[in-house]
Structure 1
Amino acid sequence: MLVADEDAAKRQRLVDRLKAAGHRTIEARTGAEALALVDAEPVDLVVLNVKLPDVTGFEVCERIKSTERHAALPVIYVSALAVQMIDRTRGLSGGADAYLTEPFEADELIASVHSLLRYYHARRHAEQLAQRMTRLAETTLALSLAPSVAKLLEAASAGAARIFEGPAVVFAETVDGAGMAAATNGPDSPTAIHVMNVDDPGAPVGIAVRVDAPGGWPLAAWPAGDTVSVAIARLRVDRAPVYVAVATGTQMSGYPMLRQLAQAVAAAVEAQRSYDEEHRIAVTLQRSLLPPRVPQIAGLDIAVRYEPASAETEIGGDFYELTMIEGDLLVAIGDVTGHSLHAATVMAELRHAVRAYAVEGHPPGAVLHRVDVMMRTLLPGELATLCLLLLDPGTGRIRMASAGHLPPLVVTRDRKVRYHEHLATLLGVRAHRPDDIEFTLPKGGTLVLFTDGLIERRGSDIDEGLSTLANAASRVDADIERFCDRLLAELSGPEVDDDIALVAIRRA
């Protein structure tokens, strides 16, 4: 408690009375000293004389109450001179919570102090609870937007630090069983990801809280003399639990906020794990259904690339096909609409259908017609783009048909570039399909087929992407593998937002 009075003897009497009642006190002689101590020390109540040497107690109280931080801080006026009704009215109207005129009994002072402290502490508790609930809601939203387990843990740790205004550590395991923790020393400190393991096989399903020594959670700087309260949330017996560790001194009885936060983190981690598991299955399925090897064909150099979307995004249905049929190279590249494990399974059905109809000897347009009928019959509602061509390795002659797919690009030896368009509707839509087109891949020329993930970017139109690809492809590398790597590096960037399939064929 802060006692502010210019009279040292009177100030000492007030201090003695408060100390006798069990309160810790600090003292100020002037109004300036009182204001400085209120800002610097954890003051719970101010006992303030109206008469001070520099400013009046009225002004000191008004300045204290004018700040958001101290608006609820209790202030008791004491005065032996300003005892008129007008003085009391001014003091109480200016924000004071009590006004005692001297002489007064010690019991009256202590009773006033205890009454105001009860209200002050109850109000602080309610305000703190409301603030923590607001920050819990903000943290829960941040968890739902996190694109990976690592980002989720960072959001959880930063949120815990803001909720409890202290250090926090949040631990979870990824779908692969790798343990990681996000730790921060407080709401204004950075959050860092650490590799970590927690050996706790006996954690039950549900939410429990235990108190650990700080040494068990060394990633954060815990307050001296405090322990660590750890919420353990386990939603499934076959999943590792999630741990949220915070300073025990920040906790309310029963740990209500800590339990709610741990439950929110566990639910978000479980959703992310399930998504990551599906993503991994879909990537594995896609890779298993793509051609296992590139065919070796005299007179042609062939390179392929398949890049799945980054782990933070959903998987698509991109695919390609390269196979020899009666002396011609069958080349197909396509994209099933949608992003899910289902899209990958539809992709597999289309690829097998293309191969089957092509083996029967049908030209590209007839193959697409049959695949379209198959989709509308057996896969109603599904849509896909597909570019299909037959290439004669000896002459470079190409016969091509497309179903709404991006046009292939031909780059000649002297760096001239041209897209070969064949305008037709997507597979899965009943519509007339135009005749096949024919063109020749010249000697030394390179044919580039690709899916939209290579050129489409948020905020840019598709023509801009096609132009960028044409410019990049015009700089032909001598090695076709290096050529493909460069196109991916220049056009896709470090984070792949959509699946990319790329096929490059160079005629010797």
Structure 2
Amino acid sequence: MDVHGKRTDATVLLVDDTAAGRYAMGALLRRAGHQVVAAATGNEALVELDARLRRGTLPDVALVDVELSDMNGFELCRRIKARPHMAGLPVVHFSASAVHPGDRCRGLEAGGEAYLAVPAEPEEIDAVVRAAVRSARLRADDQALARRLTLLSETIVTIQAARSLQELADAAANGTARLTGGPAAVFFLGPDDELYRALSQDRTSLALPDEGAHRAVAGLLRRLTRGQSGVQITTVPAPLWPAGFFRPGMQHDARLALILTQDGKASVCLATPTRGVRRVNPEEETLVARLAQATAYAAEPLLMYQVERHVALTLQHSFLPQPHRLPELPGIDVAVRYVPASQQTEIGGDFYAALRTDDGVLVAVGDVVGHSLDAATVMVEIRHALRAYCVDESDPAVLAERLDKMLRYYHPGITTTVCLALIDPATGRTRIANAGHIPPLIIRDTGTADYAKAAGPLLGIGLPHPAPTELFLEAGDRLLMVTDGLIETRGTDLAASMEHLRAAAVGALPGLDALCDTLLDCFGHEREDDIALLALRLG
């Protein structure tokens, strides 16, 4: 009987150096329903096992005579157990000689499971063989379960560390494949009906399913999870499940583990093939269901983050004027750029402004410290406050003092860096107030570039701001203001990054757009922070 109580037959490796013994024991085993593979010596048995190991057809049990011509049965047992892929093969020793207690002990010490004294009743021999097989299978099942539980734990740690829905989908797909030993696909259907998907790494990247297949999967997920609670395990037959997700161009029934996130706004699906690929294993399905639950828990905050990021981006794009919507600034040309951080990073509070005042053109670039929807909201308030203050006040230092007071009053604990510059287009006179920000880079028409010597405390801490730094721009000179997201890199000194920026600006082609595009090409790929640039030139 197997572990579920059903009688099963085994493949027995019979090792006996006498032809009569092999014949008699083999006939007995065959009558009991077993398949027999015979070997006359220990070395012959090892060669047979090696060949079967390569084919993946190891016997279920080895029945070994203690007295062999080339080695005794105990030595053969030790050699079998010493081989990693054969260590689980149960060995039953037998002997027609008088059995001493010491012989039984030697057999057990060598790793054997049982010891038979022959002749014995056929029923006893059959029972001992079947018991050894049953015990070995139970041990193998326990070991397999332990390995799967370890894989499940490792996968849960990986998915909990995912920083994006795509990272999460990749981790869940590969974890499902490791648990089931076959290809897997994972799908997240968000509240906006956006489908995130991933295929396990063992799935070839060739001939991926088309968008029609993904739309079909999205439709299935909507129908199957409607009104669902908890994990649902179901099979979708091949005609309804698009081909190619598990094997290129091939159709399979799909076994799905489906679950909604706790808020019920998104569904998670872990899919594995069934037809012609693998049989359903209840313990395995239980582990996949646990993985589906863990994936849903990990997906929920990432989906919420996606919503928050979308809102923050909307705020950024709504309140930061686009290049074609900048106000007319007589005597000055302006170019701006805004690049949000990579998908794995929260939106920050970077901003720029270009405003007309009674005393010239006021430009500003700043960064609310932190990365969240709150930072983007504070950014909007600072821009609105700056627009209001500069109606009757244009001195950059005074504006910095007023912004600092506003920030401390309405948002205590929030700090912001900002650089303000007031330019008189007629004379080129430029006054700069810098509150903890990277100072402006002045790129002269002569081909040199230097940072303005302007510094001061960041906004939100209540320290007085120094008088503005004053300099003059000549016709053709460019002034560049950036947020630190463009150049700041972990492990690199900011001063070194500023020098790289200065060198890149000097080497850029003439023109404001060329300057901005050159700097983004040099520094702006997959940054962990938002990037805001503003460049201006006297006309």
Residue 22 of structure 2 is matched in structure 1 by 11
| 1:227 shift after superposition | 5.5
Residue 95 of structure 1 is matched in structure 2 by 111
Q: 1:265 aligns with which of 261, 276, 295?
A: 295
Equivalent pairs counted in the alignment come to 504
1:245 paired to 2:308? no
- Aligned partners of 1:85 and 1:356: how far apart in 2? 100
| 1:221 shift after superposition | 3.8
1:481 paired to 2:495? no
1:442 paired to 2:474? yes
Unaligned runs of 5+ in 2: 1-10
Residue 420 of structure 1 is matched in structure 2 by 452
TM value normalised by structure 1 = 0.92
Pair 226,122 (structure 1): closer, same or farther in 2 beyond 3 Å: farther
State the SS of the aligned residue for 1:291. Answer: coil
| 1:376 shift after superposition | 1.2
1:153 paired to 2:162? no
- Aligned partners of 2:475 and 2:334: how far apart in 1? 14
| 1:7 shift after superposition | 4.0
Q: 1:132 aligns with which of 148, 155, 160?
A: 148
Unaligned runs of 5+ in 1: none
Q: 1:284 aligns with which of 314, 318, 341?
A: 314
Query: Is the CA contact (8 Å cut-off) linking 1:31 and 1:56 kept in structure 2?
Result: no
Paired residues for 1:12-411 under 5 Å: 12-29=23-40, 30-37=44-51, 39-40=53-54, 41-52=57-68, 54-81=70-97, 83-174=99-190, 176-184=192-200, 196-197=214-215, 198=217, 199-200=219-220, 201-203=223-225, 204-213=228-237, 216=241, 218=243, 219-221=245-247, 228-235=254-261, 239-246=265-272, 247=274, 249=279, 251-252=281-282, 255-292=285-322, 293-326=325-358, 328-411=360-443
Query: Is the CA contact (8 Å cut-off) linking 2:481 and 2:534 kept in structure 1?
Result: yes
Query: Is the CA contact (8 Å cut-off) linking 2:401 and 2:464 kept in structure 1?
Result: no
Post-superposition CA distance 1:204-249 (Å, at most 9, x none): 2321111334562631149x99964321112357534222123452
| 1:121 shift after superposition | 2.4
Post-superposition CA distance 1:371-408 (Å, at most 9, x none): 11111111111100011111111221101111111111
Post-superposition CA distance 1:302-332 (Å, at most 9, x none): 1100001111111100001001112511101
- Aligned partners of 2:35 and 2:247: how far apart in 1? 28
1:503 paired to 2:519? no
| 1:459 shift after superposition | 1.6
Pair 91,82 (structure 1): closer, same or farther in 2 beyond 3 Å: farther
Pair 377,180 (structure 1): closer, same or farther in 2 beyond 3 Å: closer
Pair 419,185 (structure 1): closer, same or farther in 2 beyond 3 Å: closer
Q: Which moved more, 1:463-472 or 1:119-128?
A: 119-128
| 1:12 shift after superposition | 4.3
Post-superposition CA distance 1:30-64 (Å, at most 9, x none): 13224315633243322223344554432331122
State the SS of the aligned residue for 1:474. Answer: helix
One-letter code aligned to 1:500? I
One-letter code aligned to 1:280? H
One-letter code aligned to 2:269? Y
| 1:84 shift after superposition | 4.6
| 1:157 shift after superposition | 1.1
Paired residues for 1:457-468 under 5 Å: 457-468=489-500
Query: RMSD of the alignment, in Å?
Result: 2.6
Query: Is the CA contact (8 Å cut-off) linking 2:262 and 2:297 kept in structure 1?
Result: no
Q: Which moved more, 1:64-73 or 1:267-276?
A: 64-73
- Aligned partners of 1:63 and 1:239: how far apart in 2? 58
Q: Which moved more, 1:463-472 or 1:394-403?
A: 394-403
Pair 118,227 (structure 1): closer, same or farther in 2 beyond 3 Å: farther
Query: Is the CA contact (8 Å cut-off) linking 2:482 and 2:534 kept in structure 1?
Result: yes
Pair 71,402 (structure 1): closer, same or farther in 2 beyond 3 Å: same
| 1:499 shift after superposition | 0.3
- Aligned partners of 2:171 and 2:68: how far apart in 1? 49
TM value normalised by structure 2 = 0.87
Pair 56,250 (structure 1): closer, same or farther in 2 beyond 3 Å: farther
Pair 45,226 (structure 1): closer, same or farther in 2 beyond 3 Å: farther
State, as a whole percentage, how many aligned pairs show the same letter.
37
- Aligned partners of 2:417 and 2:251: how far apart in 1? 65
Query: Is the CA contact (8 Å cut-off) linking 1:184 and 1:191 kept in structure 2?
Result: no
State the SS of the aligned residue for 1:134. Answer: helix
One-letter code aligned to 2:256? V
Pair 82,336 (structure 1): closer, same or farther in 2 beyond 3 Å: farther
